[in-house]
C-alpha cells in the first residue's frame, strides 16, 4: 500500500471515530524512539510477547489484559506469568537495541525489527527487519555485534528519549 493511501485511510478512520484497528492498514513503527513502538498505540514490538520467544521459542502476540508499562512503552504478554517474568528481568527478556535490527545498525542505519523475524543468541533476543538479515546475523553474530557495538552509541543518541 502506498504511504499516501495509508495516511488517507487512517484519517478517514480517525474522522469517523472508529480507530479500533482499521483492518487492512499496516501498523507504523516509530523509528525515532529508543524502543520500537507503534506510533499510534505506544505498544512495543507490535504487541508480541517478548518472554514467549524464550519460553515457547516462537513469536506470539500478547493480550491487552496482560500489559505493562516500561521504558516509555506498553508491552503485552500472553499470560500473567510472562508479564511477571518480564517485569522482574526486563534486561533479559527485552529485545536488544530496543527492537531495532542489529544487521542494519551494523551498517549504520536504524530500522525497526519485525517481531516475526527473530533470533536468540547467547540468551538475548534480537529482532530483524528482514528474514535475510536474520539469517546473515545467525551465521556470524559476533561479526555483526562487533560492528553494532561501535555504531549503536552514536545511533542511539539520534533517537528520542
pLDDT tens profile 76-127: 999 999 999 999 999 999 999 999 999 999 999 999 999 999 999 999 999 9
72 and 129 in a common domain: yes
Residue 111 φ/ψ region, left for φ over 0, alpha for ψ in the -120 to 50 degree band, beta for the rest: beta
Whole-model pTM?
A: 0.79
Q: Which three cell numbers stand for residue 97?
A: 537495541
49 and 3 in a common domain: no
- Sign of the torsion formed by the C-alpha atoms of 54, 140, 152 and 33: negative
* Domain encompassing residue 13: 1-28
Please compute Rg for the chain using Cα positions. 16
Position 156 confidence tier, pLDDT thresholds 50, 70, 90: confident
**Cα of 86 vs its chain's centroid, Å:** 15
Look at residue 20 and give its three-state secondary structure. Answer: coil
59 and 93 in a common domain: yes
45 and 21 in a common domain: no
**Residue 52: beta bridge partners?**
none
53 and 15 in a common domain: no
40 and 5 in a common domain: no
123 and 47 in a common domain: yes
At residue 160, the pLDDT reads 67
* pLDDT: which is higher, 141 or 11: 141
55 and 86 in a common domain: yes
Provide the number of structural domains found in the chain.
2
What are the helix (H) ranges across 17-130?
Answer: 52-55, 80-88, 90-93, 102-106
128 and 95 in a common domain: yes
108 and 142 in a common domain: yes
Does the pLDDT of residue 21 top 60, yes or no? no
At residue 7, the pLDDT reads 37
22-56: pLDDT as tens digits: 333 334 454 447 889 998 999 999 999 999 999 99
Tell me what the mean pLDDT of segment 68-73 comes to: 93
- Which residue shows C-alpha cell 547467547? 122
**Residue 69: beta bridge partners?**
74
91 and 53 in a common domain: yes
66 and 15 in a common domain: no
Amino acid at each position: 500500500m502506498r504511504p499516501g493511501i495509508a495516511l488517507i485511510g487512517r484519517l478517514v478512520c480517525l474522522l469517523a471515530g472508529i480507530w479500533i484497528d482499521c483492518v487492512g492498514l499496516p501498523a507504523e513503527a516509530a523509528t525515532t524512539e529508543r524502543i520500537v513502538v507503534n506510533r499510534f498505540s505506544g505498544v512495543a514490538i507490535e504487541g508480541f510477547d517478548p518472554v514467549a520467544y524464550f519460553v515457547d521459542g516462537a513469536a506470539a502476540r500478547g493480550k491487552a489484559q496482560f500489559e505493562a508499562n516500561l521504558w516509555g512503552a506498553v508491552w503485552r504478554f500472553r499470560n500473567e506469568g510472562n508479564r511477571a517474568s518480564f517485569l522482574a528481568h526486563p534486561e533479559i527478556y527485552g529485545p536488544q537495541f530496543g527492537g531495532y535490527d542489529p544487521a542494519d545498525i551494523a551498517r549504520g542505519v536504524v530500522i525497526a525489527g519485525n517481531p516475526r523475524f527473530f533470533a536468540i543468541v547467547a540468551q538475548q533476543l534480537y529482532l530483524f527487519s528482514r528474514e535475510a538479515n536474520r539469517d546473515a546475523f545467525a551465521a556470524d553474530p559476533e561479526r555483526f555485534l562487533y560492528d553494532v557495538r561501535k555504531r549503536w552509541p552514536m545511533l542511539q543518541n539520534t533517537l528520542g528519549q
